[in-house]
Amino acid sequence: MTKTTKTAIGLLALYAAIPGAVRAQADDDELLLAPAAESAMSLKFSGFADLEWARFFTNGDPRWKGRGIPENSAFSVGNLNLYMDGRLDKNWRSLIEIRFTYLPAGVALQGQSDPLSTGTGFYTDTQTYDYAQLRAKTQWGGIVIERAWLEYRLHQVLTLRAGHFLTPYGIWNVDHGSPTIIDIAPPFVIGQELFPRSQVGLELYGSVFLGSRARLGYHATVSNGRIGHNPAYVDLDSKYGWGGRFFLELGLGAAGELKLGYSTYGGRNTDRHQGLEVVAAPVNGTEVGVLVPKTTTWTGDEWDQAVDAKWELGGLTLQGEYFEQRLRDEQRTVVIGSGASAVTSSTRQDPYWRRGWYGLVGYRLPLAIMPFAVYQYISDSRADWQHDSTQDAYEWTLGVNWRVRPNVVLKASYSYAWWPRTQQTLENKDPLKWLATQVAWAF
Amino acid sequence: MRTILKVALAASLALAAAPAVAEPIAVIVNKDNPRSGLTVQEVRSMFLGRRTEWPDGTPAQPFDLPPAAPGRAVFIEAVAGMKPERFAEQWVDQQVRGAGNALKVAASPGAAVKLVAKFRGGIAFVPLSAVTSAVKVLILDGKLPGQRGYPIPEIR
């Protein structure tokens, strides 16, 4: 027996000793450029990230400071999201998406004053020695759980999902990632969260084909409700949030493809914030200021509705979304002090609404270059416009989006926003203009 | 040297003048799949990840081919109605949305046939010459590959 023959027999014996399932997987891997068979358990890492550079033309107007408008242009890694997609079985799937951020990194809470007038807030020193690298320093940073769910698929018409999921509404919130969305910044109606961005609870979804050219789908959700300012794992009012969505996709042959959707959400949101308040108190016969705990609780019911439409014909994309949020029974309760000496005050907000929409048109040219334009609007029925600087706002954006690779997108845009009612009453009456660029990639 | 050039030129002209061999592209499924035919729209929705299972509930598993595989661009343009780059973008978008990427890439047409033969919900497209008796060729819009009116152009 030659040495070669002995080696071959040895290899065959070794092959025979490998369990059948492992061997089958290895055989599949030879057949596939992208491994993993449908029945095998697998874990896949992917994600997306983007780098942005923006320049706001504020003419050095100090009134923009403290309103979220950076004084200086800067590069920033905006999103760095990692997906862990686990195929647990033929019917079980898990998705965990986490976003790595630079926050808190010493950023003060929004609304606090800026004693040094340094820009959009004030910062505390967050540098500390890096326990992993001698003589090096590092900064605080955080991780945001964007999604974490497990789903069981019974049929194309019924999948049950449990966990932390993105609220299934409209187009933008579902598209979600910077490589997929066309513009750089989300529209007001998305940024202002007229619907909750994500929820923790249960979701049912599915779709059915109506003939070969139409698909009708649905989502139904029940959750803790809007996550708001408190952690996602608490529900301060024990009232669930209920929501749903219907969508219809139509293949129109030579007229392209049309998608229509209707979404709704209703629920109570309760937020609680604790801080300190200086109150006057007699000490040895003299009134002095002392710090006492202050608890502020907001609660209110909301009912949100939205419609969306997207039409694609060749290189042309037209899409729009309209949102309306109605709020009632909104109450703000402040408790200053504790125990028997606590002082409670309560104010009630009249029912009000917020509504807005955007329209986007883009045309894909050769080399995957897409010029686009966006026009958007948001309004609020409250008389008190100090609630937020971006209410009753209009904006148009012109931009270009170049998908240099299927997973790499370069974007540039110029935006112009104005606040007609604010111009008459409050500060910041000048329109805001800015230039933004972004490279976004999926991996 | 001049003779060699003349021979090379003549050979090139002869090759260019020869009729191109046209080959149909077959859409194949597992032999246990009860369907014998589909519409192009149904195949499209499977290859775009919208139709995720067969009528009997078996998960659909579409298999793509490597970018340079013969007939791939023809299939994608005829069935998905888009260029291969746009088709790739669709799947990147699906992944970013969190819908996962169900599309697997077979290493070759032969590998695609073996995979479809193995997975009950498998569906792939291959040049007709790569088809073996281990899989079933689908009728598309009522036509078999090679028949007049078959919705996918032949590879030339």
pLDDT tens digits for B44-100?
999 999 888 898 888 899 999 999 998 999 999 999 999 999 999 999 999 999 987
**A156:B121 CB<8 A:** no
**B100:A147 CB<8 A:** no
Name beta bridge partners: A107.
A123
Residue with tokens 């504790």: A338
Q: Note whether B72 and B112 are within 8 A (CB).
A: no
Burial A156-177 (b: 16+ CB within 10 A, else e): beebebebbbbbbbbbbbbbbb
Residue among B53, B88, B97 whose CB faces A156 most closely: B53
B61-64 vs A408-418, strand pairing mode: unpaired
Residue with tokens 């900064």: A139
For chain B, how far is it from start to end, CA to CA, in angstroms? 34
With beta carbons under 8 A apart, name residues in chain B contacting A90: 59
Rg (CA), chain B: 18
Q: Note whether A139 and A102 are within 8 A (CB).
A: yes
User: What are the CA-CA distances from residue A384 to residues A271, A392, A432 (Å)?
Assistant: 20, 12, 21
Mean pLDDT for B129-137 is: 96
> What digits encode the pLDDT tens for the residues B108-129?
999 999 999 999 999 999 999 9
**A32:B57 CB<8 A:** no
With beta carbons under 8 A apart, name residues in chain A contacting B104: 32, 34, 36
**A368:B85 CB<8 A:** yes
Cα–Cα dist B118/B122, whole Å: 8
Q: Helices A20-31 and B109-118, interaxial angle, to 10°? A: 140
Name residues whose C-beta falls within 8 Å of residue A186's C-beta, 6 or more positions apart in sequence.
Answer: A172
| Interface residue of B53, B79, B96, B108 to substitute, partner A, most A CBs within 10 Å | B96
- The rounded average pLDDT for each run of 10 residues, N- to C-terminus, in chain A (443 residues) is 54 50 50 55 90 86 68 87 91 94 69 45 70 74 91 93 96 92 91 92 95 93 89 86 96 93 96 84 82 88 97 95 93 83 85 94 96 95 57 90 96 91 57 93 96
With beta carbons under 8 A apart, name residues in chain A contacting B107: 30-33
**B107:A32 CB<8 A:** yes
Q: Which of A1, A406, A199 is nearest to B92 (CA)?
A: A406
pLDDT of B8 > 50? The answer is yes
φ/ψ bin of A314: left (φ > 0), alpha (ψ from -120 to 50), beta (otherwise): left
Report yes or no: A312 at the B interface, CB cutoff 8 Å. no
Query: How is residue A394 written in tokens?
Result: 């209009």
What's the pLDDT score for residue A390? 46
Q: Is A221 helix (H, G, I), strand (E, B) or coil?
A: strand
Q: Which of A305, A309, A235 is nearest to A272 (CA)?
A: A235
Task: Write down the mean pLDDT value for chain B.
Answer: 88
What's the pLDDT score for residue B59? 87
Q: Which of A226, A242, A246 is nearest to A234 (CA)?
A: A226
What's the pLDDT score for residue A114? 45
Q: Which of B110, B86, B99, B8 is nearest to B49 (CA)?
A: B99
- B56: exposed, middle or buried (C-beta count within 10 Å: 0-12, 13-18, 19+)? exposed
What's the pLDDT score for residue A434? 92
- Distance in Å, alpha carbon of B120 to nearest chain A alpha carbon: 10
Q: Is A261 helix (H, G, I), strand (E, B) or coil?
A: strand
Q: Note whether A176 and A442 are within 8 A (CB).
A: no
What's the pLDDT score for residue A111? 46
What's the pLDDT score for residue A28? 57
**A156:B51 CB<8 A:** yes
Query: How is residue A378 written in tokens?
Result: 């948001």
With beta carbons under 8 A apart, name residues in chain A contacting B91: 406
Widest pairwise Cα distance in chain A: 109
Q: Is the ipTM of this complex over 0.95?
A: no
Query: How is residue A71 written in tokens?
Result: 């004084």
| Cβ neighbours of A125 (radius 10 Å) | 7
With beta carbons under 8 A apart, name residues in chain B contacting A44: 101
- How many Cβ contacts (< 8 angstroms) between chains A and B? 95
What's the pLDDT score for residue A343? 85
Q: How far is CA A256 from the centre of its chain?
A: 29
Cα–Cα dist B99/B116, whole Å: 23
Name beta bridge partners: A210.
A214
Calculate ∠ Cα A192-A197-A198, nearest 5°. Answer: 160
Q: Which of A170, A175, A246, A235 is nearest to A204 (CA)?
A: A246
Residue of A nearest to B42 (CA): A212
Q: Note whether A78 and A99 are within 8 A (CB).
A: no
- Distance in Å, alpha carbon of B83 to nearest chain A alpha carbon: 10
